[in-house]
Amino acid sequence: MKEVDEFAALEGKKVLWISRILGFSIFELISYAAGLTKISFKDYFLITFVTSTFINIGSYLVFKNINLQTENGIFIWVGTMAGTGIIFGLLVKFYLSNKSKFN
């Protein structure tokens, strides 16, 4: 837990920004993880508010003309969630591998 707190103190805000933008499909897991760190509630709330606003507007614009009651609409929605999850996972992996090279 000490290592998580140290990580959150140094990189927590940056990671929270990225995870809120790209990791919206795993939103509750991110919230739980942030709650276990020493990130201030004010920073957590501000980042969540700002990114959620843009993500919700973006999701509306992307999906407003897609019928989610059809097979194609559901496929597009699931594909979008999976795609952003994969991108988020790759960014985390890239970040952690680069971080370990410098330590």
Token pair 């795609």: residue = 83
71-102 and 41-63 helices, crossing angle to 10°: 140
- Indicate the pTM of the whole model: 0.55
Cα gap 41→45, rounded to integer Å: 6
pLDDT tens, residue by residue, 45-103: 888 888 888 888 888 888 899 998 999 999 998 998 888 888 878 887 887 777 666 55
Buried b (16+ CB within 10 A) or exposed e, 52-88: eeebeeeeeeeeeeeeeeeeeeeebeeeeeeebeeeb
